[in-house]
Amino acid sequence: MTTEYGLKRHFNGDAARLIGGKIREVHPDFDVEEYAAEVERRIPGKELKDRVLVLAEGLRSRLPEDYPESVKILLAILGDELAEGEGMFNVSWYLMPVARFVEEYGLDHPEVSLDALVEITKRHTAEYAIRPFIEQHHELTMTRMVDWARDPSHNVRRMASEGVRPRLPWARTLTVFVRDPQPVLDILEPLRSDPSEYVRKSVANNLNDISKDSPDLALATALRWSQESPTPETTWIVRHALRTLVKKGNQEALAIVGVTGGEHLRVPSMGLHPRTLALGESTMIRLDVENTDSRRHTVTVDYVVHHVRKNGQRIPKVFKLTTLDLAPGERRTVEKSHPVREVSTRRYYAGEHLVDIQVNGQVLATDRFDLRL
């Protein structure tokens, strides 16, 4: 029997029994075992999102034909709102098909559906389900989301941000906001110093999304927020939101997050050991960073591995190393072990891999290791 991994393994007949059992408590005609049997029959070979759709389709065929009545039944099984720090994927993961139900079948009833998504997001998330409503009922949905950004519930405020992320992972790209992210920024404005870490992470990720397509607008927003809202919460959001631009060495982004002295920094020594590796082994990166200025500077140090691809070309990947506060004339040694092991998003190929040391966005040293498979 094949062992399954990841979140998808949970969406099977047992998940159907869990959901169906809760539904039967408020809707006694629901056939739990028939639902579970259908799910078990249809999920083999399917990945996460398709499995969730199977569960949602099974609900649609067994709940009342009248959509508002079906939604009323589903809302009755949601349970208590998640507290700060309670994860939607470990506490209420089984509600994913409920959100998918609204996403798939609720577009003809936008008012009912948007009300339902507010309640669902308090117990799980609606960041994926809201996106077709943004596309097909744009004005209504955006008006709601502006209000949600000021909601007393941190879960609803977070959905106001997460739902409009232009490039939300696992979701369709919202091209309307790739072209013009200003409506997204209007929603983020009251959240720029939110007391909830859950919300702040979403705001930072959203502004980081925007920085990939509209870097000048993201930089102007980050600078304004830093000046108008000098709180620890805003400072954290801005630093996290500019991470992509910082990794690219954007000097304006570096200045906003307080990194200085680029022209006064050097890496007098840098090396890798060992320089010949097999897959699964690690190489130690060792370097010295020196501040040659007569003033103290805060510097960020990254390293870039140029991974060899199947066609022999190299693709760079930036890894965070450290941030240093260097006194005038100070020289500091930094070490980092870099493992060379395959992950789900990267496959290794044999050949010479370059490693750059990037200080304040500038490449100041390079070495290489040879990977043999």
* pLDDT per residue as tens digits for the range 111-158: 999 999 999 999 999 999 999 999 999 999 999 999 999 999 999 999
What is the rounded distance in angstroms from the CA atom of residue 281 to the CA atom of residue 279?
A: 6
- So what's the pLDDT on residue 172? 87
For residues 324-340, give the mean pLDDT: 96
Domain 158-259 annotated CATH 1.25.40: yes
pLDDT given for residue 361 in this prediction: 87
Place of tokens 């409506």: 183
Q: What number is the average pLDDT over the span 33-53?
A: 96
Residue 5's pLDDT is 52
Backbone φ and ψ for 251, nearest 5 degrees, come out as -70, -30
Which pLDDT band, with edges at 50, 70 and 90, does 9 fall under? confident
- Identify the weakest region by mean pLDDT among 12-26, 219-233, 239-253: 239-253
Residue 1: pLDDT over 50: no
Residue where the block lists tokens 């304004």: 224
Closest CA to 16 of 127, 94, 117: 94
- According to the model, what pLDDT value does residue 346 have? 83
Sequence-ordered strand ranges (E) for the chain: 265-273, 276-278, 282-291, 297-308, 314-326, 331-339, 351-359, 362-372
In this predicted model, which residue has the larger pLDDT, 31 or 172? 31
Q: Chain-wide mean pLDDT for the chain? A: 94
Cis link prior to 274 (omega < 30° from 0)? yes
Q: Which pLDDT belongs to residue 279?
A: 93
Q: Is the dihedral of CA 173, 177, 178, 179 positive or negative?
A: positive
Per-residue confidence (pLDDT) for residue 247, from 0 to 100: 83
262-371 fold: Immunoglobulin-like (2.60.40)
Tens digit of pLDDT for each residue in 193-213? Answer: 999 999 999 999 999 999 999
Please tell me the predicted confidence (pLDDT) of residue 84.
Answer: 87
Q: Give the chain's end-to-end CA distance (angstroms, integer).
A: 30
Q: What share of the chain is helix, strand, coil (3-state, %, to 5)?
A: 45, 20, 30
Q: How far is CA 114 from CA 60, 92, 109, in A?
A: 18, 20, 9
Residue 307 binned pLDDT confidence (cut-offs 50, 70, 90): very high
Domain ranges, ordered by start, for the chain: 1-126, 158-259, 262-371
Q: Helix crossing, 48-62 with 32-42: angle to 10°?
A: 150
pLDDT, position 345: 74
pTM to 2 decimal places: 0.83
- In this prediction, residue 2 carries a pLDDT of 46
> What are the residues whose beta carbons fall under 8 Å from the beta carbon of 221, sequence distance 6 or more?
185, 207, 210
Query: pLDDT tens digits, residue range 158-178?
Result: 999 999 999 999 888 999 999
Range in 8-12, 246-250, 310-314, 353-357 with the lowest mean pLDDT: 246-250
Pairing state between β 331-339 and 362-372? unpaired
Least confident of 24-28, 82-86, 136-140, 153-157: 82-86
**pLDDT beyond 90 at 249:** no
Q: How confident is the model at residue 4 (pLDDT cuts 50, 70, 90)?
A: low
Mean per-residue pLDDT for 7-15? 91
- Chain centroid, CA 212 distance in Å: 14
